[in-house]
Structure 1
Amino acid sequence: MSFDEWFTIEEIDPMTFSISEYGHWEKVHSYLVIGDKYAALIDTGIGIGNIRNVVDQLIFLPIKVITTHVHWDHIGGHGQFNEIYVHELENDWLKNGIPGLPIEVIRHDVSRDISKPLPVDFRIEDYEPFRCEPTSILLDNETIDLGNRTLTCLHTPGHSPGHICIYEEERGYLYTGDLIYKGTLFAFYPTTDPLLFVKSVEKISQIEHVTRILPGHNELDLNKDFIVELNKSCQELLNKGLARHGTGIHDYKDVKIYF
């Protein structure tokens, strides 16, 4: 089996795959979740490589693209698919772009610190964040049936207004987008909300059956203990009055929280 060399494919289980971009400083993960009737693609990465080519070599099912949030590094391949889901609070971002974010800033972040050869047809001067009218709007606790697999969308704002995590109760998988991963967690931009971020971490920490956290960036080897410890850190910041913009970077060993 030959995949686009830009991506790294890792098997979570025989019906679940991570599609990762380790050659970029963001180390973005998208996830292919395969049911009996449909497959879900949770995010579509940066848009440097052709993620559709990868998906088509893994399955032959209709694809539902579920957007954790509308940042450029998670919607780059959306244009290669027909069925796009997004939370209602980021519907306008998907259609019109994020206000006040210059294309020069985006292109700089897309093209810096690359450690793998770029696809021959990629040109940074042509790069534009994807925009479209979504086919489906998501609400908190909405479910998506893939046929013998059900995904529940949990509204977890803070990193962005319409950020969602996706929970698969049967397997205990929690796809956390940019709410939780090892590294620096960002909630200092004007479009972020530190208080909502803390509340969202608390919300998902209360999910009892979590066997695996599948984040949007960096290391894949995370479990429920990581959420528990992160929630403790967030509650500490809340109690100290630090869950607000301008308090800086708070260092907690495996994770830094930037407010």
Structure 2
Amino acid sequence: MNEKGIDYRETFHPLGNYSPAMKGIDLLYYGNGRLSSNIYVLEEGRTLIDLGNFAGLVAELKEHYPQAQVERVIFTHAHFDHIGGLGEILTHWNPQIIIHKVELEGVLPGGTTLKKAFQEMGIEDFMELEGNEDIELCDRKLRVLYTPGHTPGSISLYDLEKRVLFSGDTAFPMM
């Protein structure tokens, strides 16, 4: 357990219990250290920020949000520990994929682009980001910040009203 009372041995963390600004944001935390993944759940499961790469994501979502309908997934970048859970999500839902266009244009081993790989998985609903867009959700508006560095198409998401930043791997302590 850390100094804020968060027990990282558990996977589900309702962040509103720790800060009023985080009300309505839950964290699914998997792994340990460098191999950990944060999946942020907003709007009672309608919006997910990143997906991790651990089996059991759908079961975890259904346990905490029995009526969840995943409508959109926002990727902060396209590393496997952030997008690896997409295949499992697609077995139950067909969400819109929101990602920076530079990540979609990235070439994968074998020569195909990420966008083409997504399309081969049956995904057609994309929102290709450039930066400075606003993503309107039911209870918050997220400003897209183009933050290349960790990957060429990394983004962060900032809730201007509640002053909450989702930084993906743009800013994290080195372990």
What is the TM-score normalised by the length of structure 1?
A: 0.50
Q: Write the deviation string for residues 114-153 of structure 1: whole angstroms up to 9, x where unpaired.
A: xxxxxxxxxxxxxxxxx41362211201111111211111
Q: Secondary structure at the match of 1:132?
A: helix
Q: CA deviation at 1:26?
A: 1.6
- Do structure 1's residue 20 and structure 2's residue 23 form an aligned pair? no
Alignment-derived partner of residue 11 in structure 1: 14
Computed over aligned residues only, the root mean square deviation of the Cα atoms, in angstroms, reads: 2.5
| Structure 1: distance between partners of 2:139 and 2:60 | 23
Aligned residue-pair number: 144
Cα pair 1:8 1:19 within 8 Å, conserved: yes
Equivalent position to 2:99, from 86, 89, 98? 86
Question: In structure 1, how many angstroms separate the alpha carbons of the residues matched to 2:83 and 2:62?
Answer: 18
Q: Secondary structure at the match of 1:68?
A: coil
Q: The residue matched to 1:162 in structure 2 has which SS?
A: coil
Contact 2:43 2:139 in 1 (8 A): no
- After TM superposition, the score normalised by the length of structure 2 is 0.72
CA distance in 2, matches of 1:7, 1:88: 34
| 1:158 counterpart (131, 146, 149) | 149
Distance 1:98 1:84, change over 3 A: farther
Post-superposition CA distance 1:208-234 (Å, at most 9, x none): xxxxxxxxxxxxxxxxxxxxxxxxxxx
Deviations 1:50-77 (A, max 9, x none): 2122223333244310000000110011
Counterpart residue number, 2:118:
132
Shift of residue 156, structure 1, vs aligned partner: 0.3
Q: Distance in 2 between matches of 1:98 and 1:179?
A: 24
Distance 2:137 2:46 in 1: 6
Unaligned runs of 5+ in 1: 1-5, 101-130, 185-259
Structure whose alpha-carbon radius of gyration is higher? 1
1:11 deviates by 1.2
Of the three residues 87, 94, 108, the one matched with 1:97 is 108
Match of 1:50 among 56, 64, 75: 56
